[in-house]
């Protein structure tokens, strides 16, 4: 069989159902193969940035691994900005680009370049398939690396001659992978003791919670702690229901301001980061002086990356948060304290909402129109099943 | 003074009159400085690819060194495709991007990234200014490297805090640079002897001739040789007048087809490359068996890069081509041979033009309309001062 068949079989074996692309000559072997794979839809975008951005959002929304198909160096180059975004968003996806015949590599052919060097800064792994015999192995590893936590894009360059080369090495995918480890029970016990010493715990949450499907377990943990929940400023998902009485605000984007927002906390628990994606440099740590700092992550790479911790814990987030919640729920004395904090948080939430409404009402008839009224009018006029795409990041900070 | 003043003074000292950009927060120090430099126009583009592409064409058309101003990692990323094009086009230009405060570099701030790694594959040099004291030196070297043959884009990352830092190191530009060396006279003599042995010389030309202003000297050399002139397929400039009787065709884009086009030649002289920008791999050399191969370039980097030469010569192209022409013009016996070849080339040119017109006439009333008629009608309807932007590369190959 040819390299391009192994490529397409690899996509099928890994559950790919969408290719987002903007192809040219070097992608013709892939295009020629599409008719034999009607399960895979090829969606053409008029600019590479759109193809990459659409794939990243498809990965986030569907959980499936999408493929992007770009055209040699200019096409890949046009996609680099959105590949950076996909890397920061931890989108599991495979970005491919056709490459000129690799027997031309020393002769700087038209549109050709060192594609792997171009893609390396914005991917978890970048590789060129140099002969058809390694197509199956490259694609198998590409899907593995893209999907491992923290997830992110992988780049694969596909020389046009390699796609047409013959090989006997078939595509393959691993089947049952048990890669969601339970946390260290000693860690659960030790961290539970630290948490119990806190009078005013704060939890800071980010996207990995939603991606791991751990929101329900997070709610149980937060209620068992009697903790307020803060949101990392840069996020793609809803990690915690923002109308829950324990929900506080989006954190600001510099260390001093974060420290100010969390000033009441004597313990800060970070879950599902990275923490923190700052915009401005300010001096000092983002935590109140003397507070304990705990972090819980799916991947060791996230843990203690930016800040020294008092304790850290790695584990599949649903089972880890559930184990933490159960350990705290088992202590009835602690639960009485947590319940009293939850009552106070609920009152604060009602007060904060009322204060916001009062501010909005005071400015209701202002000309030009106030932003709270804009939001209220939009809210009133929007059906319940509307999808809101928020791209007003600067205004929301 | 502040880093941003040194930056702007450097632009003034190097004759910059245009900045093409798509700015954001990190570029605000540069934007704040513009009001003090009314000689420099800031042209905003709605996509970074347009800003970079416009700058590249401005460099090619004006000879001046333009500056591009992009916004951190996503902005730079969106510009990488067109930076590749600027690199291949040898456009002398400085691409800048604002960078987050460099005291945040370990903390992966929002939109920040290793910008130098991102830009390196598509630039001659990529550098981040780490403190204001080195701003003047970085900018001085950036202009030097961008303008040296073969020219190309240089990338400079500008951290927002460095732009506001104080320094006493002023901007500076070198004034009189004598960097257009005359060729080795022994080389002229030796190559002249090789050229005189050829009965059927062919000259292949590319963009560096036009950029060096060597077209008139090329015409004199070609006429002194009695050589046909072929054009490298990928070009931005007119290196040789295409209605000159010695002008032949655009070369094809693979070695075997180039060898076929040049099959009559017993000597191939390459001038102002790179040679050749191929699209397809085919076996063998792009030169007819037994032909001599000579290359003349402004920069040693171009010489003998892809193909072994029988002789190579480095020098400022106008004076080098003039010296070659004068050496050949001094030999009256050789000039008689050259004149006879020129007469034959002129006849071939008339015949080729007549044959084209005959083909066009035969298909004149074809439906759908033939491409030669489309071109003839466009030509008839286009005023003499019209600028034609040809982007039909695939159709023209």
**Predicted confidence band at B179 (pLDDT cuts at 50, 70, 90)?**
confident
Q: What is the DSSP string of B27-92?
A: GHHHHHHGGG-TTSEEEE-SSHHHHHHHHHHHHHHH-S--EEEEEHHHHHHHHHHHHHHHHHTT--
Instruction: Examine the pLDDT at A127 and tell me if it is beyond 60.
Output: yes
User: How many Cβ atoms are within 10 Å of B169's Cβ, its own excluded?
Assistant: 15
Over residues B157-173, the pLDDT tens digits come to 999 999 999 999 999 98
ipTM of the complex: 0.93
For the segment A290-308, the average pLDDT, to the nearest whole number, is 95
**Predicted confidence band at A46 (pLDDT cuts at 50, 70, 90)?**
very high
Q: Are residues A297 and A352 in the same domain?
A: yes
A168: closest CA of chain B, how far (Å): 24
Would the CB atoms of B122 and A100 count as touching at under 8 Å?
Answer: no
Contact A358, A256 (CB under 8 A): no
**Residues A110, A120: Cα–Cα separation, whole Å:** 21
Give pLDDT, residue A395: 59
A371 within domain boundaries: no
**Residues B55, B94: Cα–Cα separation, whole Å:** 9
**pLDDT above 70: percentage of residues in chain B:** 99
- Residue A265's domain is classified under what CATH number? 3.40.50.1220
Q: Are residues A262 and A134 in the same domain?
A: no
Domain around B14? 3-164
Give pLDDT, residue A178: 82
Nearest beta carbon to residue A109 from set B113, B121, B279? B279
Would the CB atoms of B281 and A101 count as touching at under 8 Å?
Answer: yes
Nearest beta carbon to residue B77 from set A84, A111, A394? A84
Q: Are residues B214 and B352 in the same domain?
A: yes
A99 within domain boundaries: yes
Q: Are residues A98 and A243 in the same domain?
A: no
Over residues B125-157, the pLDDT tens digits come to 999 999 999 999 999 999 999 999 999 999 999
- Residue A118's domain is classified under what CATH number? 3.40.50.970
Give pLDDT, residue B51: 98
Would the CB atoms of A281 and B84 count as touching at under 8 Å?
Answer: no
For the segment A4-28, the average pLDDT, to the nearest whole number, is 97
Instruction: List CB contacts (< 8 A) between A122 and chain B.
Output: 77, 113, 118
Instruction: Examine the pLDDT at B56 and tell me if it is beyond 60.
Output: yes
Q: Which helix (H) or strand (E) holds A71?
A: strand A67-71
Q: Are residues A257 and A301 in the same domain?
A: yes
User: What tokens were used for B226?
Assistant: 């009695």
* Sequence-separated (6 or more) residues with CB below 8 Å from residue B95: B52, B55, B67, B68, B70, B76, B79, B83, B86, B119, B123, B153, B154, B155, B156
**Predicted confidence band at A344 (pLDDT cuts at 50, 70, 90)?**
very high
In A, minimum Cα distance to B70 occurs at A81
Give the residue from A130, A164, A198 where a domain finishes: A164
Give the count of domains, chain A. 2
**Residues B376, B356: Cα–Cα separation, whole Å:** 12
Would the CB atoms of B110 and A277 count as touching at under 8 Å?
Answer: yes
Residue with tokens 């034609």: B388
B206 within domain boundaries: yes
Q: Are residues A227 and A284 in the same domain?
A: yes
Q: Are residues B55 and B140 in the same domain?
A: yes
Q: Are residues B50 and B7 in the same domain?
A: yes
Q: Are residues B349 and B302 in the same domain?
A: yes
């Amino acid at each position: 069989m040819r390299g391009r068949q192994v490529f397409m079989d690899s996509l099928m074996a890994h559950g790919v159902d969408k290719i987002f692309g903007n192809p040219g000559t070097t992608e013709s072997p892939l295009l020629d193969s599409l008719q034999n794979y009607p399960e895979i839809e090829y969606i053409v975008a008029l600019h590479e940035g759109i193809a990459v951005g659409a794939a990243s959002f498809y990965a986030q929304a569907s959980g499936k691994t999408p493929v992007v198909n770009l055209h040699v160096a200019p096409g890949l180059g046009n996609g680099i900005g959105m590949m950076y975004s996909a890397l920061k968003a931890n989108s599991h996806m495979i970005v491919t680009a056709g490459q000129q015949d690799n027997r031309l590599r020393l002769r700087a052919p038209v549109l050709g370049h060192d594609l792997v060097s171009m893609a390396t800064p914005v991917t978890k792994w970048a590789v060129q398939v140099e002969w058809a015999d390694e197509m199956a192995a490259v694609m198998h590893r590409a899907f593995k690396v893209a999907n491992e936590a923290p997830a992110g894009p992988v780049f694969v360059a596909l020389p046009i001659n390699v796609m047409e080369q013959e090989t006997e090495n078939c595509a393959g995918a691993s089947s049952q992978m048990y890669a969601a480890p339970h946390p260290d029970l000693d860690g659960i016990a030790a961290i539970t003791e630290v948490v119990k010493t806190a009078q005013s715990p704060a939890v800071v949450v980010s996207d990995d919670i939603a991606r791991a499907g751990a929101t329900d377990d997070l709610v149980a943990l937060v209620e068992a702690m009697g903790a307020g929940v803060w949101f990392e400023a840069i996020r793609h998902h809803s990690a915690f229901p923002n109308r829950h009485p324990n929900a506080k605000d989006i954190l600001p984007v510099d260390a001093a301001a974060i420290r100010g927002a969390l000033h009441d906390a004597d313990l800060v628990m970070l879950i599902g980061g990275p923490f923190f994606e700052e915009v401005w440099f300010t001096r000092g740590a983002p935590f109140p002086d003397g507070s304990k700092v705990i972090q819980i992550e799916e991947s060791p790479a996230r843990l203690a990356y930016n800040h020294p911790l008092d304790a850290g814990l790695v584990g599949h987030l649903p089972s880890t948060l559930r184990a933490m919640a159960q350990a705290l729920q088992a202590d009835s004395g602690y639960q009485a304290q947590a319940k009293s904090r939850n009552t106070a948080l609920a009152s604060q939430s009602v007060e904060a909402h009322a204060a916001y409404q009062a501010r909005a009402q005071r400015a209701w008839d202002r000309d030009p129109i106030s932003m709270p009224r804009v939001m209220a009018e939009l809210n009133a006029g929007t059906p319940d099943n509307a999808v809101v795409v928020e791209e007003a990041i600067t205004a929301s900070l």
